[in-house]
A and B are shown apart, each in its own frame.
Chain A
Amino acid sequence: MAHSIIDLLFVAPAAVLLTRLLSKALELPQRLPRWNQALNYIWVPAVLLYFLTALFKLSIPLLGDYYWLLVLLVWLAVLLKVRYYRPARMVLFGLVPFVLYKVLELVLEDPRGKMPKIYDDFMDTSQGFVIIWVVAFLLIARGQKKQLEKERLVREEEERAKRLIEAQNAELERLVAERTVALTHQAEELRGALAELRAAQAQLVQSEKMASLGELTAGIAHEIQNPLNFVNNFADVSVEMLSELREEQNRAQRDPELEAELLDDIAQNLQKIHHHGQRAASIVKGMLEHSRASTGDRQPTDLNRLADEYLRLAYQGLRAKDKSFNATLNTDFAPNLPLIAAVGPDLGRVLLNLFSNAFYAVRQRQLRGEAGYAPTVAVHTHQAGDQVEVRIRDNGMGIPETVRQKIFQPFFTTKPSGEGTGLGLSLSYDIVTQGHAGTLTVDSQEGKYTEFLIRLPINQAG
């Protein structure tokens, strides 16, 4: 009995220790958490056996061996459970012969643990073999475990790299989303700015009209003062003459010759009043037409008349500002020029602009004080096939090549700040090309001349 209990005392701690090793080696806490917990109590049967034998005073010599076998079977069960894990499978293969040997040993031994003589040699050989087998498989299992560990590390490394990439991807996506939001915001802001710019442009277009109206106004003020002078004074003098006539009629000795002369004069004066009143009215009408927002109404337009009218208006406009300015105006209008369906006030604006520029250019050259320089602005109309051409030529400063490329751009101006909006030619270009399906081109030689050419199709499409 003492022997068996001492056996048990040795075997139980060893079983606990080996079970711990096995649990650790096979990572049982992760693979079989509940079994692993149960395995922690592998010592319980040993204690129970101990108390039972002590209680009933039993003498079971092979108690330690039975317990040992129980532990082995439990291990086998555990290994079977985790046989999907290759090291576990190896341990299982290694352990099976050992368990069989142990069973055989228990079967063959007599109750006191003595091996009969006939089996002794065989069992000794078998034991050696079985132990080598176990050790070999444990080594293999260890190797495999290490291999697996390495693979796991690699996998983990890969996993980590993958996670890192994923994290980076997520970060990138977040950044992209952030940028997208920022860009959307910016785009919206730009859209707003664009709308504001469009509104500002419309306003500028209007103020450009008003600016050219201002240029006109000075010319018109002069143009209107003259007829007004006549209207006022002829009306006044006619009143005077009428009272004189009345006086004459009341006289005892009437002078029929004087009366007739007075009547003639009065009649003539009324005609003059009418004439100059008409003249003033047409100037005001022209001014209104110019300032009115374009209605886009196409009317049969006589380009000769339009060009002549605006040439004079532009000339008077400049002279209103600069009294000492003089220029020769040359007009060469093609007779029988066909009428063109055009928006008169719009084309007038174009012409006014081109003429104003021409006068400005000759004025600049004149101010240089070249000897014998005669400032000249010429306008020439001409029918070329199914097109009508209007050439406006000045012998002013000319436009340098570098500047010529930009003159139709909005806000481009060579005039000192405050004198030009830089919209005149850009608007003119739009009116001719978009408004009338024509072309507006420029030809110039520095220091010699500048010539603008408007070409308009006679049959306006649309």
Chain B
Amino acid sequence: MQILVVDDETDVKDLFQQRFRREIRSGELSFSFAFSGEEALTFLRAHHSEVLIILSDINMPGMSGLELLGHVKEEFEMPPTTMMMITAYGDDESYKKAMSLGANDFLTKPVDFAVLKDKLLHLLP
């Protein structure tokens, strides 16, 4: 299962690769990384049939996670992409906005990887 992680913090890449090293090694999950909304869109346009899950930060310079969410929902109807938003702000407003834009889940930082792992494994076919 292809997962795209979008965050402006570059260390996210190392973190995910280490956290999910077993799943990556076993080939259960495969990760790609984008460090801005714009980069994520470019990536999606090139690999639009491969990515099943997008994990995106909300607060990023330039295109925000919510904007990205809007674009994704608009542009890529097939296959049905699962969007999970990750944010430092666990406030209601962001949550409602993300949900109304069509996000499938909402996580707050610091990310609890046990929970995230659980959610991802549930999405596996």
Q: Residues of A at under 8 Å CB distance from B?
A: 221-222, 225-226, 228-230, 232-234, 236-237, 241, 265, 268-269, 272, 276, 319-320, 323-324, 326
Contact = CB atoms under 8 A, between A and B. Distances in A.
Q: Is the interface of A mostly helix, strand, loop or mixed?
A: helix
A229 B14 contact: no
A228 B111 CA distance: 10
A324 B62 contact: no
Band of interface residues on B = 20 to 34
B111 A222 contact: no
Contacts of B76: none
A272 B18 CA distance: 13
Interface in B25-65: 58-59, 61-64
A320 B113 contact: no
A230 B111 CA distance: 9
Interface string B77-90: 00000000000110
Given A226-B9, A233-B15, A324-B66, 17 more contacts: A221-B89, A222-B89, A228-B110, A230-B11, A230-B15, A233-B110, A236-B113, A237-B15, A237-B113, A265-B18, A268-B14, A276-B11, A319-B59, A320-B59, A324-B67, A326-B61, A326-B62
A261 to B, nearest CB: 9
B97 to A, nearest CB: 7
Given A234-B15, A323-B94, A229 B110 contact: yes
A303 B61 CA distance: 24
A225 B18 contact: no
Interface string B12-28: 00110011000000000
Contact of B88 (A225, A237, A269): A225
B7 to A, nearest CB: 9
Nearest to A320: B89
Nearest to A222: B88
A234 B110 CA distance: 11
A52 B19 CA distance: 159
Nearest to A327: B61
